[in-house]
Structure 1
Amino acid sequence: MRTWRTLMLQTKILIAFILVLFVVIGLTCLIFYYGNMRDTKTHTYSMLNTLSGQYSKTVDFFMDDIEKISLSIFSDPAIQGILANHAQISPKEGLKVRNELFALLFNYAHPRPEIAGIRLLTTDHISYHYEAGSTVNAEVFQEELWQTRLDAMSKSGYLLLPPTSSNEEGYREKNLSLVRHIYRIPRRDKIGSLKIDINAHEMGRLLVYSGSDPLGEQMRVFIVTDEGAVIYDNEDAYTGQRVAAFAHALSTDERKYSGEIDWLDKKYLYTSEKSDYTGWNILILLSNDFLVAKQQEAQIILVIVGLIAAVLASIVAYLIARHVTKPLRELITEMNRVERGDLSGRMDIKNRGELGVLSRVYNNMLNSISRLITEVYESKLAENDARLSALQAQINPHFLYNTLNIMKSISRLKGVEEVAEMSESLADLFKYTMKNLQLPVSLRQELEHVANYMNIQKHRFGDRFALRMEVSEELMNASVLKLTIQPLVENAIIHGFSRKKADAIINIKVCTEGELLLISVSDNGLGMEEQALKKLEQRLAEYSKRSKHDVQEDGEGIGLSNIHQRIQLLYGEGYGVKIAGSQGAGTTVTLIFPYKAFTPMLAEETRQ
């Protein structure tokens, strides 16, 4: 032990590395010799389970995407109009309908090569069939079994049909189908049916392995129903057929299952996973002979690798030990220079590991020391500049406020009452926002500020929008933070009503909930996309986790983040801004304050 302590770090690393390497190689050979076949099967099952799980999810996403396409066709206004009024369409108008449907169905099917065709069935037994590369054909059809099955399902239900085969000029194509009824919006009466044919060969694109790999060549991948009907076969030998051996293997009630199966006079390892979305089973088979051959190859490779590793162990260990200790020696040299008062030296960061982190921290420490020395020298100059800027900032707002009052007086003298009214409203609005942004005011004052803002907007937009308020008189004296409601009204006008030319409504509702004061600003405008709404909610939530010293402006003036920050800085994390809404259904922003009556004393306490 005493000898070990006196050794250099490089020598210790070299010896430890060689010992660990030889122990690991020896144990690996023993474990592989006695338990390789069992472990190989275990890992194979695990790999097949992973593949089946990934493929099952991929197929679910794929079919969910197809189902979304069916919903788009379902809700298309033009298709709704054609199906709803098809009984009144004359034979002369049939060609026009077919051309219109061709344009519509082409737009849905063309970007998706996996869609082999789309069929629309009317309630008066006319079938419009679109196939890729052709026009829309119209023909009379007889009621099909799947339509009867759909009649017994909910109006949002659909069916997935196993592959069918169609022969055209010697070309055989196997398709699976998604079918559903189409109901009139919003009356919900049945106006037709939809059938989307999907090329079963396209399911091969969803596989996560390469068929050119040795493992891929040995694996057989199937998508099978519980009855053994093969929806997809990666070798296309059994697609559209029923295999009794598969039905027997899938007879278990478990969602995931692994085992062995005898098929085509061979023994296979297999895993299956049942999809909760489609009800299909992903069945993956791997020949047992392939595993035996792989084990023999692995044993030979392991022996060769072990011998090579034993020869190279000493060389590799020496190089690693030298590489690890070299930066430490360089760091010691640099630290000796700092000890002598020289702060100009820096470490070269040559890697991203622990030594790289150590070098970067050392450099940052020297940079911080140098920066602190500079900041102490420059702090007095910066303080003087800040005082001059603060004095200058006080001049401009007062000048603009006085100018607006002069404009109001001149306009009244000239008889231009509308300009005078706008100048007065703008002056009051500007005066309200000039100072004491962090002081509470009464709800009445804040709503008067909103009224001044709306008076200006009325002159600009006319009757394009209306403001409604639901506020009881007893809440008018409630204490709120200054300049928090008007920015929400402004957001509704700018963002919510940017495309709304009439009948736009902004509703302000004030109520209490226990000890909370809730102020909601709602609009019937464009609303927000789900992704944008989640991003904004996350942004507000992230601020709540910061300390009060980390407050930053959001770059948007007095926006939602700014209001949320100001409320939480004054009242705490239990208060702030909540937002709700959806695209096309408007937006509701709610301010949450503690319910207190406003008094001048309360404002003075807040100032202190």
Structure 2
Amino acid sequence: MIMATIIPTTISMIISYVMTTNSLKERAVVENMNLLYQGRLNLESYLEDMNRNSLTVYSDPDFFRSLYYSHENINASGRQSATLQSINKAISGARQVYLYVDGKREATLFAQDIARKTSDVALYPEIPDLKSHTVSIQPPHPLHTYGFQLAYPYEADQQVFTMYRVIERVPSSERLGILAIDLNMNFLSRISGQLFQPEHEQLYIVNEDGHVMYSGNEATLGRQIQEDWYSKIKESGHKEGHFEYNNKIYLYNNIKTSVSDWTMIKEIPSSYILSSAEKAAFVNISLLGVSLILIIIAMIWISVYITAPIRQLVGLMSQVKSGRMTVDISSDRKDEIGTLHRRFGSMMDTINNLILQEYKLKLANRTNQLRALQAQVNPHFMNNALQTIGTLALEHGMKRIYSLISALARMMRYSMYNTDKPVTLSTELDHIHDYVELQKERFENQFDFRYDVDESTLQVLIPKMLVQPLIENFFKHGMNPLTQDNYIALKSRRLSASIVQITVEDNGNGMQDEKFQALQEHLLLMEEMDLEQLQVHSEIEAEDSSGIGLINIMTRLRLYYRGKSKFNIENNQPHGFRVVLTINVEGETDEGINRG
């Protein structure tokens, strides 16, 4: 019993621990991916806003014209200073804005709320080569003065990242100058600081060249990442995702804007995520130890006080098993063992009563079987009687009467036997011909039966009595006995190798609009049911009605062809009714036989 307790409990704890750790990891991945997504949106919004503000150099025609004049032109110089100041104020976190005009070899720096200018100077040498790029963002670097003298110096460890925009002579690509915007790291710290917990996790924002734009570890700012986990991200080719490597979970998301193609990477130690699961595992192990002590004490008590009455009960059960069904199973005990004795006694009483009921049920079943055999006599008798009358009519030369009686006999025989098996369309059509022959005699040829059947469809298997009720509906509801141009048409054709269409249409009274609409809604409702729901629905319909209507035909059609069928009804104009059955007979021959 101890092993039976320890083994399942240990396995349960292991499974629980594994499932809990996996669940914690999955939940951490989902939550952190959502967090990175929100951070990505904020960063993309900021970078796009910074890009739009830098494009002021193109949207301001006065500024653009000022690039063709030197600083000696007061208006041009003032326009440049005003534009740089506007850009500096518009971009949150901007420290200074630098402008260099190639043609004039002039530079302007707006810093510390003052615009400073210098002439006949080269482009500041620490500005990187932008090559063919018109916009570029330089990784974090120390803040410099672009060669200008400032009122007070910058801190030596002040880090910024710089956005460079090449100013071109539009629409050509001739370069007029360069605009440089130095931005504080504060905005990256503000946004990124909300995305990770520095004491447990690490966050990196890396540009397209692998240089660190932001990191929780300031020592890595501006450096190129060489770690193996970053290579796995680059090799994946995905813009976002996650993976586990060296007991750490890495999540990444792409920050794609018109000025950047950065990757945001979050590093989470697995131990941090699973700390709660490990605590729970320790608690479970402690509980298991306490439980084992209690189990051992309980087993000693059970072996002394419980096993004896249980053996007594087992003895009584053995007597019942040997066939003695009237043993005395009463007990005066008030505990669970006494309850077990009384329940067993109650069960034996129930079994004895069920045995008596079983004998009664067998007797009732024999009676029902006899009645069922008697009920089968009448149809057979009617069929044999019709054959006898037909023979007598033939002997007296009444061939028409013989023909009609023979048709009626065939119809009865067709409907009596194997109603649950499929038949070929050819067999169903023979039955329809007999039915129509009788109706012609009844209505004295007041209607025309039109028959257009493709021979390739004659061997298609269909549920029995599927088409005949559609013909019968014409005589019940559609035919107008006062007119002579009544007709009903039966057509079949192949739409493709596996699709067969059967159409029954007439020019009778049709269906009233209200009834037609109600029927259409009912059929649409049934179309939305799955086959199990349709089966239940058909059983309810069968209890409510004994006839074979359009709804019944649609139900049988869908159930037989497992939903691969269509049932459409139409009111012909100006009058008449049409039913179209479209069925899929691919592989139908074997399946149909098996269903039968």
Q: What's the TM-score once normalised by structure 2's chain length?
A: 0.39
Larger Rg: 2
